[in-house]
Structure 1
Amino acid sequence: MRFLMFGLILAPIAAFAQGPARDLPYRTFGNWLVGCDNTGACAALVLPEGEGPGRVYLRIARGGAGADLPEVSIVPVGGGAPAGGWRLSVDGGTAVGPLAPRPGDQTGRAPITARDFGTLLPGLRDGARLSIEATGRAVAAMDIRGGGAALRWMDERQGRNRTTTALVARGPGAPPASDGAVPKVPIPAPAPQDRLPRPPGVNAAGTDASCEAQGGGLPPGAAGRVTGATVGNPPPPVVRLAGGAFLYAYPCARGAQGPTSLTMVTNREGRAPRRVQFPRPGGAVATPANLSYAPESGQFGQSVRTARDCGEENRWAWDGLRFRLLSWTAMPLCRGVNEADWLVLHRAEPDPAEVPPPPDPPQRQARHGQGRPHR
């Protein structure tokens, strides 16, 4: 897939979302990190500790359908596995194993059977330390305090509390009726990118404002222009959106997330610009970092990542009126988790659709007594 890149980012990641913690689809519980997506699928990670080789982490993943069972594995940071496999135990209790990767799996991921998970589960809920041994010696240990709260939160997000499928608080209730299906979002075909107009002009006098300071809308009197932070930069990329509108991505600030863009959408004539934000649970993205566009799919992307194995990836598409979130994967903590195990926090599939009609313009109010009833 061909992407047009609107910037590069190599800076440390900042907080992903600006909304209250209760609105975020992920939470931490001590050394546990748990995240769920909009289909009800969840993953819980016991994060690796320390630095250097030999680090591992535990992953418990479960789909959102009522019949989905937990998929549990022990994963080495960066791949590789001991020849004899791993043995796991909690607080010196019964060990399970040896646990070894499937033949041909170069990642070193070792599945844990349902029987072995059942042995470990009481300790994961109430224990303090998960010990990992290989070839008869200890190779790692992880703090698992908070496991009961982490797994209970996961059960709650999936609607499993007090049901026969709960990991913590089991009860007589039936499993959730959800089928865990990925929702479809009506997205028109991408528009052609030929004969694009010039971007709106830049206000060279407005040097006292920055993209970040503009918040959710243009500053007063800025119709048709952008202020200070874009002065001296080359003309921004222009993308024709489905329905004929245009998006302009102005180079913005170089903050903690690296180069960001101020995005504006105009009408078919390239006029009447307005600020747009990219939706995401917990807080919209006002100035996306490393913004990209794929002409073949009409999808926009944001990529935020660091050399310490954390970051986020987002994809959005224009539905003819606004941007819709298609995917969000993230690793908010820089602890060495492999990218394949980053938290999946949102999923949607584009569904071919017609461009919706524009909303009716607001009616003007009557002036100087016009429209009043005659006496």
Structure 2
Amino acid sequence: MLILSALALAQAAPQQGPMKTFGDWVVACDNVKRCEMTSLQPEGGDWSDDGWQMAVTRDAGPNGGWSIELIGEDAPKGVALKVEGAPADAIWRGDALTGAPAASLIAAMANGKAVVVRDGAGKAIGRISLTGSSASLRFIDAEQGRVGTVSAAVAKGAKPASAVPAAASLPVIASVRAAGTPVALSPALLNQLWTQSDCAENYEGESRPDVERHALGGGATLVLVPCGAGAYNFSTVPYVVKAGKVQVAAFDSSPGWTGDGPPMLVNAGFDAKTGEVGSYAKGRGIGDCGSAETYVWDGIRFRLTQARAMGECRGSINWLTVWRARAVAK
């Protein structure tokens, strides 16, 4: 029975989608083949020039369409996006570009050198490198099964769009609705948690931070034991207390920077309304790389509902989604 249970847990582990870097772009697809790509600051470039980025998304399936967003500090409406080296442009009106305008811009991006952002007077106010965008679009074609079809962005062929595989449904997780009151922790139990987690050594000679408690529902309480902090990341070890018993929280996919020790949540957050537990680990202070996960409690372990990541520390605040699931309260 124990072997069967272990096998069941292993089979249920989320298989996050792939992520690749091509030149000045990063591309990723999630577990249901919804794909995203986002621009990076060119390596060795002058980051002081501007902070413009472009984000591109395509849904899976024969009818999966494009969505393009311009990312920048207070990106003004009405600016023109012109592809250098290809005859295409579009006007940014503050909402995502979709439909024919997006498809036209994508077709040009595959052969262009850069997207130039121009204000109403025609002055260039931003430049987004397209180095690697064609390879990223080809990657999406392959992941979504579009190679050789008329719906491909780069790897086009004569096959109809109906030859593209149908979009898969999101996995459904039966979650426990957060309810009740978190249990009180006796001094003895608190001592046990500090000792068992090996987190006490991070606060020798100083007062220990408060231990957070959150009611998970069904009589279970999530306990977050502080375990050290840096300039922009605060780590905690999660425990579940129920019926007087304490155990390290179980996850179907490890959060944060979990290594050989217990699971470690980074900059943890708990939403009592949704019952979601979040971990947000920044690779550096400006938040242009790292990983983030969101979980729900199913009564036994925490189940991954979303995972986002950015492996390149090159100015992108647009982390890409590599896993999604839909939580339904029991």
TM-score, length basis structure 2: 0.74
| Distance in 2, Cα, partners of 1:88 & 1:225 | 56
Query: Out of 29, 54, 78, which is 2:22 matched to?
Result: 29
- Going by fraction, where is helix more abundant, 1 or 2? 2
Q: Does 1:229 align with 2:202?
A: yes
Match of 1:279 in 2: 253
Match of 2:275 in 1: 298
Displacement of 1:225: 8.0
Displacement of 1:269: 1.3
Q: Does 1:323 align with 2:296?
A: no
CA gap 1:280/1:117 in 2 versus in 1, 3 angstroms? farther
Q: Does 1:89 align with 2:83?
A: yes
Contact 1:248 1:263 in 2 (8 A): yes
CA gap 1:51/1:112 in 2 versus in 1, 3 angstroms? farther
Percent identity over paired residues: 22
Q: Does 1:261 align with 2:249?
A: no
- Going by fraction, where is strand more abundant, 1 or 2? 2
CA gap 1:62/1:281 in 2 versus in 1, 3 angstroms? farther
Q: Which of structures 1 and 2 has the larger relative contact order (alpha carbons within 8 angstroms, sep 6+)?
A: 1
Contact 1:183 1:348 in 2 (8 A): yes
Task: Say what the alpha-carbon RMSD is for the aligned residues.
Answer: 3.7
* Letter of the structure 2 residue corresponding to residue 162 of structure 1: G
| Distance in 2, Cα, partners of 1:90 & 1:303 | 37
Helix, strand or coil at the partner of 2:173: strand
Q: Does 1:79 align with 2:58?
A: no
* Letter of the structure 1 residue corresponding to residue 54 of structure 2: L
- Structure 2, gaps ≥5 residues long: 1-14
- Structure 1, gaps ≥5 residues long: 1-21, 207-221, 354-375
Displacement of 1:126: 4.6
Displacement of 1:288: 1.1
Query: Out of 91, 98, 118, which is 1:100 matched to?
Result: 91
Aligned residue-pair number: 302
Helix, strand or coil at the partner of 1:200: helix
Contact 1:42 1:63 in 2 (8 A): yes
* Letter of the structure 2 residue corresponding to residue 248 of structure 1: V
Displacement of 1:153: 1.5
Match of 1:314 in 2: 293
Q: Does 1:58 align with 2:46?
A: no
| Distance in 1, Cα, partners of 2:276 & 2:100 | 39
| Distance in 1, Cα, partners of 2:60 & 2:110 | 21
CA gap 1:298/1:151 in 2 versus in 1, 3 angstroms? same
* Letter of the structure 1 residue corresponding to residue 82 of structure 2: L
Contact 1:23 1:282 in 2 (8 A): no
Helix, strand or coil at the partner of 1:229: helix
* Letter of the structure 1 residue corresponding to residue 31 of structure 2: N
CA gap 1:281/1:163 in 2 versus in 1, 3 angstroms? farther
